[in-house]
Amino acid sequence: MKTTVIIGGSKGIGFAITKELIATHKVVVISRTAPELEHQNLKHYTCDVLTDNLPELETVDNLIYCPGSINLKPIGRLSIEDFKQDFEINVIGAVKTIKHYLNTVKKGNAPSITLFSTVATKLGMPYHASVATSKSGVEGLVKSLGAELAPTVRVNAIAPTVTNTDLAAKLLRNDKMIENIKDRHPLKRFLDPTDVAHMASFLISEKARSISGQILEVDCGIVNFKL
């Protein structure tokens, strides 16, 4: 049974991935709060990835970094500190995690690293300057590390559109906003966390053994279709 480490696996998309994998993987969740789930295959470490020392682990086959931010403001209201904070959580946290576990990951069974981007890096969406900037850094990291670590470790990212999590609650706070967001997507829906978890499960599996350095859009058609 492979060991998958999920940073931020107690809430939102990370929790959906935890639930997706728990029956078939040894899942190690590293997060500030414990997931509301108990299973013989689950181990949790309480840790803030930005400020605390990450736990030492003997085995890491798959590393999934889920923390992110949705800091949507006009550029005039975004402070330099906003940009720094978004970069810290999206890029520096991922780099810190990868550097800490890389030697262990390299020894893993068909190892992989999965990060998270956003459709906003491709679409040019208003009020997304800070998050799109930091997630573009994530995409650059994926490309560079994918090349550097080949053929031993596969590195990919998932770029979801709006997903029904607490992080996106402000975007989905009433029926009108929900319908507007659905209408913007060619498939007339937005994402449930399980949609993203399915993609993560695929990317770390043997079925994706030939995929590395990719940014996989899970987007309900919004990036590539104009209807």
| pLDDT of 42 strictly over 80 | yes
pLDDT of residue 199: 98
pLDDT, residue 216, reads 97
* Tens digit of each residue's pLDDT (9 = 90 or more) over 150-191: 999 999 999 999 998 888 777 888 888 899 999 999 999 989
d(CA 96, CA 224): 33
- Residues 93 and 189: their CA atoms lie apart, in Å, by 31
d(CA 115, CA 6): 10
How far is 161 from 163, CA to CA, in rounded Å?
6
Mean pLDDT of 215-221: 96
Which residue is listed with tokens 């998270």? Answer: 116
Q: At what angle do helices 129-149 and 80-87 cross, to 10 degrees?
A: 30
pLDDT of residue 148: 98
Range in 72-81, 110-119, 160-169, 198-207 with the lowest mean pLDDT: 160-169
Domains of the chain: 3-218 (3.40.50.720)
For all residues of the chain together, what is the average pLDDT? 95
Q: Residue 94 — pLDDT band, cuts 50, 70, 90?
A: very high
pTM above 0.75, yes or no: yes
**Taking the CB of residue 109, how many other CB atoms lie within 10 A of it?**
11
Residues with Cβ within 8 Å of 25's Cβ and at least 6 positions away in sequence, in order, are: 1, 2, 3, 4, 41, 62
Amino acid letter at 115? L
Across the range 104-123, mean pLDDT stands at: 97
User: Using an 8 Å Cβ cutoff, are 47 and 30 in contact?
Assistant: yes
